[in-house]
Amino acid sequence: MPIPVHTPRINNNDDFVRVAHLYVSPGSQVSSGDPLADLETDKATFTVEAELDGYVLGWKAQIGDTVAVGSILAWVGDSPGQQPPAEPSASTTAGAAGEDREPTLKAALLLARYGLTAAEVPAAGQRLSASDIERYLAGRPVPGPKPSAPRVDRPTAPSEPGREVELTRPERGMLHTVLWQKEAVPAYLEIAYDPRPWDEYAADFQQRHRLLISPLLALFAWRLVRIAAERPAINATLTGERKHLYDHVNLGFTVQSGPSLYAVVVREAEAMDVLDFVRKLGELQRSAMRGTLRPEDVSGATIGFSSMARWAVTRHAPVLLPQSALMVAHAAPAGGAASLGATYDHRLLHGADAVGALQALASPPDKE
Amino acid sequence: MDKIHQSIHAKIVQLAKELGRDARLLRSDEEIPASGVLDSPALMELIVWCETEFGIDIDQDELTLDNFGTVDAMAAYFERARK
């Protein structure tokens, strides 16, 4: 039998909410606890979850719609082929046969609290009373007040008119990365260094291996891999009050491809030799440009490297990649000098850790 | 200059223009990285464009100065790959 999913109340003062996102399409199978939809008001966002296992039979609202608290948002049934009733069925309005009796003030508050409508609850008398609702609630599993507090991490809806478009996959990835900064405690510092030894080292490497593309940034990233392998503290993240020291160094490297920003990941980089690393990173950069990156190519970074030298940016503070504690910032030289920066998770690392890593990175290795 | 040379040269000029540089006078035997008309990401973009344009997948190991360092070398590589 199809069961309605009602629109819950998010804020005491909001009788209407906006549908911000639908997680599943009609016919999709869901399990109890799965997210169904994001609803929002000017003050908060709330994720409606499936109350039971079943199939979403259909949505009564679409993304962007404004719906009344207590109205039916969707139907969930036992099989994907079930037809959702056009209106609440007689069985859900038992007793008073679907008559919409005027609720008392206390009943109205309870209806709103439990996301019910007056038509659903049979009334014993001329008006729908709080006792009617309590009796109704006692007899069936209904969507009660959510135990979890509404999420408030979504910015309030703009007051000015405009149109909303879905984020692209890279944009969602960037959002996920940036939101990690709210969990971490990022701090930033930088050191000055002489870029000439690095330039000479990269030019020599390029000529010796006859590489078409300058390996400068890849060699910087490779040096960071070696430093992270020697200093496990910077290749780590925090889990509660414990350090999680990664077994491998998965180097995240930012790549701008057209309008999209990616952080491609060279996995288990510490096990590679330098030429294999340079080639692997080049492959991933080309995959980003072709739009053929796989999910595993852009996830699992344990440490990061970002350069904005291409745009002549001389200083920048990058965001940390999710579940990492250090992100190195490479920038363009200015007047013969250059700076290397690092954003670090101050919950796990202190300034000396970051400075130590940057000082080691400031000079190219003596040998490959 | 044959069609392959012309299309590669035109693409280099376009990519260079996006960087605010002028590659119209780039000679076909002039080494592109040393010329400074394209930076590394633009060179990579040129290679990705060539893969699509000429229908050839290029192995990362093949991305050498000898194969792709000049317009002449690129054109010769794609001529060989087509045969």
> Strand A66-68 to strand A16-22: parallel, antiparallel, or no bridges (unpaired)?
antiparallel
Q: Is residue A163 in a domain?
A: no
On chain A, the residues whose CB falls within 8 A of the CB of B68 are 212
User: Do residues A355 and A249 share a domain?
Assistant: yes
Partner residue facing B63 (CB), from A212, A256, A310: A212
Residue A330 φ/ψ region, left for φ over 0, alpha for ψ in the -120 to 50 degree band, beta for the rest: beta
Instruction: Name the DSSP letter for residue B60.
Output: G
Q: Which of A125, A156, A187 is the last residue of a domain?
A: A156
| Cβ atoms A246, A321 nearer than 8 A | no
For residue A47, tell me if it sits in a domain.
yes
B64/A210 touch (CB, cutoff 8 Å), yes or no: yes
Q: Greater confidence, A173 or B40?
A: B40
Mutual angle of helices B3-18 and B40-54, in 10-degree steps: 140
Instruction: Count up the domains in chain A and report the number.
Output: 2
> Which residues from chain A sit within 8 angstroms of residue B61, using beta carbons?
279
Q: Are A119 and A82 in a shared domain?
A: yes
CATH number of the domain that A105 lies in?
2.40.50.100
Segment-wise mean pLDDT, segments of 10 residues, chain A, 368 residues:
81 76 84 84 78 85 83 85 61 44 77 78 80 76 43 64 85 84 91 95 96 97 98 94 94 92 96 97 95 92 96 94 96 91 96 97 85
Query: Which residue range is the domain that position A98 belongs to?
Result: 3-156
CB-nearest to B63 from A217, A282, A310 is A282
Nearest-CB residue to A310 (from B39, B60, B66): B39
Band of the pLDDT at B70, cuts 50, 70, 90? very high
The answer to whether the CB atoms of B40 and A217 lie below 8 A apart is yes
Q: Are residues A335 and A191 part of one domain?
A: yes
Q: What residue type is assigned to position A150 of the chain? A: P
Interface A–B counts its CB contacts (< 8 A) at 49
Q: Do A310 and B41 touch (CB under 8 A)?
A: yes
Rounded Cα distance between A330 and A182, Å, is 23
> How far away is chain A from the Cα of B69, in angstroms, using its nearest Cα?
6
Model ipTM value? 0.92
Q: Do A144 and A189 sit in the same domain of this protein?
A: no
My answer on whether A122 and A200 are in the same domain is no
Q: Are B64 and A282 a contacting pair at CB < 8 A?
A: no
Note whether residue A366 is domain-resident: no
Domain final residue pick, A127, A156, A185: A156
Q: B44 and A213: CB-CB below 8 Å?
A: yes
pLDDT of residue A180: 81
Is there a single domain that holds both residue A145 and residue A220? no
Do A147 and A185 share a domain, yes or no? Answer: no
Position A86 scores a pLDDT of: 62
| Domain ranges within chain B, ordered by starting residue | 3-82
Domain assignment present for A204? yes
> From the CA of B2, how many Å to the nearest CA of chain A?
23
Does residue A295 form part of some domain?
A: yes
Residue in B closest to A217 by C-alpha? B40
The pLDDT of residue A146: 38
In this structure, what are the phi and psi dihedrals at residue B40, rounded to the nearest 5 degrees? -60, -45
Whether residues A181 and A61 share a domain: the answer is no
Instruction: Assess whether A104 and A44 both reside in one domain.
Output: yes
Residue A247's CATH number: 3.30.559.10
**Domain boundary at A123, A156, A189, which?**
A156
Which positions in chain B touch A286 (Cβ < 8 Å)? 44, 47-48, 60
Mutate to test the interface with B, among A206, A207, A208, A213 (most CBs of B within 10 A): A213
The shortest CB-CB distance from B33 to any of A214, A279, A285 is to A214
pTM: predicted TM-score of the whole model, two decimal places: 0.65
pLDDT of A91 reads 35
Three-class SS string for chain A?
A: CCEEEECCCCCCCCCEEEEEEECCCCCCEECCCCEEEEEECCCCEEEEECCCCEEEEEECCCCCCEEECCCEEEEEECCCCCCCCCCCCHHHHCCCCCCCCCECHHHHHHHHHHCCCHHHCCCCCCCECHHHHHHHHHCCCCCCCCCCCCECCCCCCCCCCCCCCCCCHHHHHHHHHHHHHHCCCEEEEEEEECCHHHHHHHHHHHHHHCECCCCHHHHHHHHHHHHHHHCHHHCEEEECCEEEECCCCCEEEEEEECCEEEEEEECCHHHCCHHHHHHHHHHHHHHHHHCCCCHHHHCCCCEEEEECHHHCCCCCCCCCCCCCCEEEEECCCECCEEEEEEEEECCCCCHHHHHHHHHHHCCCCCCC
A97 vs B46, higher pLDDT: B46
| Fold for the domain defined by B3-82 | 1.10.1200
Do B65 and A310 lie within an 8 Å CB cutoff? no
Q: Are residues A190 and A96 in the same domain?
A: no
Instruction: Kindly state whether residues A207 and A349 are assigned to the same domain.
Output: yes
| Contact between B69 and A285 using a beta-carbon 8 Å cutoff | no
d(CA A310, CA A331): 8
